[in-house]
Amino acid sequence: MPASVAGAEGRARTGAMGPYAVLRELDDEASGIPVPERRFIGRSADGDRTVLIGAPLPGADPARFLAEAETSRYLLGPWSSPAAEVAAPGDAPWHARPYVPALPLPAALTVHGGPLPERTVRALGTALVETLLIGHGQGLAHAGVSPAAVLLAADGPRLMCFGAVRAAAEDGTPRSGLPGLESGSLPPEQAAGGQPHPAGDVYALGATLAYAATGYTVPERDELPAALRAVVTACLSRDPAARPRPAELLDALSPAAAPPAPEAGAAAGPPRPATMPDAAGNPAGRAAALLGPGWLPGRIIAALARQSAELLAATLPAPPAPQD
């Protein structure tokens, strides 16, 4: 294990990660879904800031991990989750972003007691597609979409684990079976060592939506809800060229958001753009209309409230006793 990763492991066990005290881990290993990084909820020493912290898995390359975290800082869009802070060179590797009450997608299915409702899956998919569209427009393939990479918050999802595939191994090296990579979400061309690209993000998106709708990333076709079967199956094509483009997925996932057909004899208006700007001028649009009250089932909302209350009541761990 690289010394810097070993140092991060030791600091996490003693309740510290970078300048933050660790309050708890975010993920539950009992879910059985691989997570590309270790994730913690932490708090600043003055108690004013609560953050979500990521650290590399044991044995991971800290340089590759930090390079992807640094690139993620440039991600745009309301549902992306870019790193806001990154460890200084020479320090144990970590990155952090502001905390919002959120559940990893596998935990949300556990809380809900099974697959999520179609409305939730459609809203989730639309938000993730918009996030990928914005990233691809920036020239960035996410290369980390998987069930564990998706956090569900009351106001919408957050997409984490940017660059997990690139961080796991360099291009040309087979990635199948590597720690942290969920096999069903790993595009076959990237499992074989190919360079991550936008079409791979579409495959991983299909696997993630399949998981949200069925509890499996590679379900049988007839296990998928009928209304989502065609779009998810198209995303999971083994041929990258046969997968739909992200812009095409918006209509498939949110047909209610498509503009009505003009009446006979009426002049056709300008075509509706794939995404509309939000209040800050960022491309958002359709997902915002689907993420209103009721987009998450009640049990998940209750779990988010419990998480928030527990963290508000949490006290910072005592610093380790000085050694003689």
DSSP assignment of 304-324: HHHHHHHHHH--PPPPPPPP-
Within a domain: 170: yes
Place of tokens 């380790």: 320
Within a domain: 92: no
Q: Which of 25-29, 131-135, 166-170, 196-200 has the lowest mean pLDDT?
A: 25-29
Q: Which of 68-82, 92-106, 165-179, 302-316 has the lowest mean pLDDT?
A: 302-316
CA distances from 124 to 129, 166, 253, 290 (A): 9, 24, 9, 9
Among 202, 199, 162, 191, smallest CA distance to 36 is for 162
Among 251, 163, 235, 161, smallest CA distance to 199 is for 235
Structure tokens at 84: 């806001």
Structure tokens at 324: 């003689």
In this prediction, residue 279 carries a pLDDT of 40
Q: Which of 40-49, 109-118, 147-156, 311-320 has the lowest mean pLDDT?
A: 311-320
pTM for this predicted structure: 0.86
Q: Which of 10-24, 111-125, 212-226, 303-317 has the lowest mean pLDDT?
A: 10-24
Instruction: Give the range of the structural domain holding residue 105, as residue numbers without chain letter.
Output: 61-82+101-256+281-305
pLDDT digits (tens, 9 = 90+) for 261-291: 333 343 333 333 344 444 444 445 789 989 9
Within a domain: 56: no
Answer yes or no: are the C-beta atoms of 210 and 224 closer than 8 Å.
yes
In this prediction, residue 260 carries a pLDDT of 39
Annotate 28-61 with b (16+ C-beta within 10 A) or e (fewer). Answer: eeebebbbbbbbbbbbeeeeeebbbbbbbbeebb
Looking at the 3D structure of the chain, how many domains does it have? 1
More confident residue, 264 or 119: 119
Cα separation, 210 vs 216, in Å, equals: 6
Is pLDDT above 80 for 107?
yes
Within a domain: 139: yes
pLDDT digits (tens, 9 = 90+) for 7-32: 445 455 547 889 999 999 999 888 88
Within a domain: 261: no
Annotate 90-100 with b (16+ C-beta within 10 A) or e (fewer). Answer: ebbbbbbbebb
Answer yes or no: are the C-beta atoms of 137 and 158 closer than 8 Å.
no
Confidence of residue 89 (pLDDT cuts 50, 70, 90): confident
Q: The CATH number of the domain where 157 resides is what?
A: 1.10.510.10
Within a domain: 168: yes
Mean pLDDT value across residues 288-310: 95
In this prediction, residue 37 carries a pLDDT of 97
pLDDT digits (tens, 9 = 90+) for 174-233: 999 999 999 999 999 999 999 999 999 999 999 999 999 999 999 999 999 999 999 999
More confident residue, 159 or 315: 159
Within a domain: 247: yes
In this prediction, residue 15 carries a pLDDT of 79
Cα separation, 225 vs 114, in Å, equals: 14
Within a domain: 7: no
Q: Which of 15-24, 34-43, 120-129, 195-204 has the lowest mean pLDDT?
A: 15-24
